[in-house]
Amino acid sequence: MVKKLNLYALIALFILSTCQDANREWDNPYDPRSDRSLWTPDSVEVLQISDNEIELSWLRKGRDFDGFIIDKKIGTNEWKDSIAVLWDSTFSWIDTLDLKFVVANPFLYQYRIYAYADTNTSLRKNIKIQPATPGPPGSVSPVSIDYFHDPEIKMTIKWQQSNEPDFYRYNLYHSLSKDAEKFLYQSVYTNFSTSLDTNNFSVLHENWFWVEVEDTTGQKTLGNPLGIPIDSSPIASLLDTIIYSNKQFIFNWSKSVESDIGEYVIEQVSIIDTSIITQSATLNKNTSSVEMQIDEDREHYYRLRTSDVWGNNSYSQIRPSSSYQKIVKLDIVTENGNDLTIMNLGPTLPFTHNLSNARSQFPIWIQGGNKIFSFTNTGVGLVVNQDGSSLKKISGIKPQDIAFNSDQSLALFVGSDDDIYLAYLNEDKSTLRVTRNVNNEWYSDPEFIDNDLKILYAQRKHFSNNNVGTINIYTMDLDGKNASQISDATDEEKFIMPRMSPSGDKIIYLKKNDGLYEINYPTEKRGDLVATSGGDSIIPELSPFYRNIRWSPDGSMAILWEKKFNNTYNLYLYEKDKSPRLRLFQAGARYANWNGNDEIVFKYESSSGMYRKKINTVFTDDPQLLHDAPWVQLQPRQ
């Protein structure tokens, strides 16, 4: 009986238990039979709390479980499981975004969250969000572009500072024009660095710059451009007239006042197309003149190139130049004087200077060819520079002839009153009277000797007032004192036209109505007659204004002319160290002068022009035409 009761009790208990299971809530997360909705996260929300942060939040439900799992899906990509595993006490989670990725991939973000208990999981709650991409950085632009050359060549670009919190770098772009393609010039990675110095630039073209701000997401904003124009060329310096002297061209120019001048260069150019034939070495910016060696008898064209430190060039006007000798000439010869003309002998560049109304007579070159002296119809004469400038008239008594000191800054002459005068050719001083003759004791032929400290001259001494007497040769100081007779003409002998050799050891003179004589100075007082190879004596013509008997520059020879009959002239060459001393050099010629030591220029009576002839020729050789004008003097070689 008892066994039956126990069996009935067990059956009743099973039935009761079965009825209870059908009515209970299965909320144990760990029970595979549990209702998963009872512990599924609730009230799931998603919010972008910053540019790079998305926050998920939820409410917890149900009994205890292990925690939460979050999966993530971006766009159409596959789900990434378990990107976060959280404790069950956690009710929010922040997803930190890679903004570069977000900006580059602006897709929909999906999240799913669920609870887990051991291997059991709750239902999954899905939620979506489209992340907001951050805006691009604000723009900045260049504010100034400056370039300098002192103390070093440098360009400085300055720009506005970016206030972008996610600043990454500035990208500087450069272009040769506003609309041309731009290229990355340099990047600057520090926000507060708002300038860039560089020496890698040229201002021979335009320079345009842009500044681009790039943030950490890779977004970029390009600002407005700023440009500077091509650097202007320097103002061209003015090249003065080119002077030829001492086998050199002398260049002078106005020095530029611009601060960025780098150098000057003298360019020889073709006058046809201005192509460069040759050029000088570079000349320092502080230079304003230079001398260049040049061969004789050349005609060139030059210009001055002014260059700045940036490589810009400007050019002066083209200046012609000539190393040909100049001539001074009179196209007409009259007693009242005529217009004076200065010109070069070159084939294309005469550089003619006409001095109209100069009333010039017998112009000659002085001071090494740098100046010209000319008699005039009134006064002593005039002096003018070789280029026709700075004409100076010398007032005083009219001379009969003239002689110069060594540098030809002073002149001695006998006036119409037969006294000796001293004239200053470079200084503004009055003509000085050196002598005062009495009893018609006339002076003649003064010239400087003894290093320009004394005067050699001839003077007539009368025995009575009938103008009959001797003429002897004398010396005296420049002030007319300490006169000393050095010849011994007696009775009515007349020693005139004394000419001292440049070496100071020989005097040749004319013994009137007899012939040319020479004496050794200072040891002799009477000279020896100088004759030709045929034994003929020569009587040099006493020529007013233009002196007859002229020594060569080296003192080894002298040239003189004789007048035969009424209008026949012959040139003779005196050679100091040869025998015979005299030889006929050119028939039919007078007014001779030296061109160096090896050539004579003279008036050829059978022609209207002036001629030249080498001294190593014979009298039968034809001379060469110098210039077709009645009076021409050749400038000494410069």
Question: Does residue 620 share a domain with residue 580?
Answer: yes
Of 295, 322, 349, at which residue does a domain stop? 322
Q: Are 52 and 96 in contact (CB under 8 A)?
A: yes
Question: Does residue 511 share a domain with residue 426?
Answer: yes
Q: Can you give the pLDDT at residue 6? A: 61
Q: Can you give the pLDDT at residue 29? A: 94
Q: Summarize pLDDT for 141-182 with one digit per residue, the tens.
A: 999 999 999 999 999 999 999 999 889 999 999 999 999 999
The CATH number for 250's domain is 2.60.40.10
- At 473, the pLDDT band (50, 70, 90 cuts) reads very high
Question: Does residue 279 share a domain with residue 186?
Answer: no
User: What percent of the chain clears pLDDT 90, i.e. is strictly above it?
Assistant: 88
Q: Can you give the pLDDT at residue 194? A: 97
The DSSP code sequence of 505-545 is SEEEEEETTTEEEEEETTT-SS-EE-B-TT--B--B---SB
Q: Is residue 460 in some structural domain?
A: yes
Q: Can you give the pLDDT at residue 12? A: 58
Question: Does residue 201 share a domain with residue 77?
Answer: no
Q: Average pLDDT of the chain? A: 93
Question: Does residue 575 share a domain with residue 463?
Answer: no
Distance CA 46, CA 61 (A): 18
Q: Is residue 378 in some structural domain?
A: yes
Q: Is residue 79 in some structural domain?
A: yes
Q: Summarize pLDDT for 616-630 with one digit per residue, the tens.
A: 999 999 999 999 999
Q: Is residue 381 in some structural domain?
A: yes
Q: Can you give the pLDDT at residue 461? A: 80
Residue-wise burial string across 186-223, b where 16 or more C-beta atoms lie within 10 A, e elsewhere = eebeebeebebeeeebebeeebbbbbbbbbbbebebbb
Cα 21 to chain centroid, rounded: 113
Question: Does residue 403 share a domain with residue 385?
Answer: no
Instruction: Give me 220's structure tokens.
Output: 């970029």
Number of domains in the chain: 6
Instruction: Give me 400's structure tokens.
Output: 């009969």
Distance CA 134, CA 221 (A): 13
Q: Is residue 119 in some structural domain?
A: yes
Rounded to 5°, the CA angle 233-237-241 comes to 150
Q: Is residue 90 in some structural domain?
A: yes
Question: Does residue 413 share a domain with residue 501?
Answer: yes
Range name among 203-212, 255-264, 461-470, 569-578 with the lowest pLDDT average: 461-470
Q: Can you give the pLDDT at residue 176? A: 96
Question: Does residue 603 share a domain with residue 555?
Answer: yes
Q: What is the mean pLDDT of residues 348-352?
A: 94
Distance CA 162, CA 137 (A): 8
Of 499, 529, 559, at which residue does a domain stop? 529
Q: Is residue 24 in some structural domain?
A: no
Q: Are 109 and 131 in contact (CB under 8 A)?
A: yes
Range name among 20-34, 140-154, 512-526, 576-590 with the lowest pLDDT average: 20-34
Q: Can you give the pLDDT at residue 15? A: 53
Q: Summarize pLDDT for 298-327 with one digit per residue, the tens.
A: 999 999 999 999 999 999 999 999 999 999
Alpha helices for 30-132 (secondary structure H): 99-104
Q: Summarize pLDDT for 515-524 with one digit per residue, the tens.
A: 999 999 999 9
User: What domain range includes position 217?
Assistant: 142-228
- At 134, the pLDDT band (50, 70, 90 cuts) reads confident
Q: Can you give the pLDDT at residue 20? A: 52
Residue 582: is its pLDDT beyond 90?
A: yes
The CATH number for 478's domain is 2.120.10.30
Question: Does residue 223 share a domain with residue 256?
Answer: no
Q: Can you give the pLDDT at residue 18? A: 52
Question: Does residue 631 share a domain with residue 557?
Answer: yes
Q: What is the mean pLDDT of residues 414-438?
A: 95
Residues contacting residue 109 through CB under 8 Å, at least 6 positions apart: 54, 72, 73, 74, 95, 128, 129, 130, 131
Q: Is residue 21 in some structural domain?
A: no
Q: Can you give the pLDDT at residue 135? A: 87
Q: Can you give the pLDDT at residue 19? A: 47
Question: Does residue 92 share a domain with residue 71?
Answer: yes
Question: Does residue 410 share a domain with residue 368?
Answer: no
Of 129, 153, 184, at which residue does a domain stop? 129
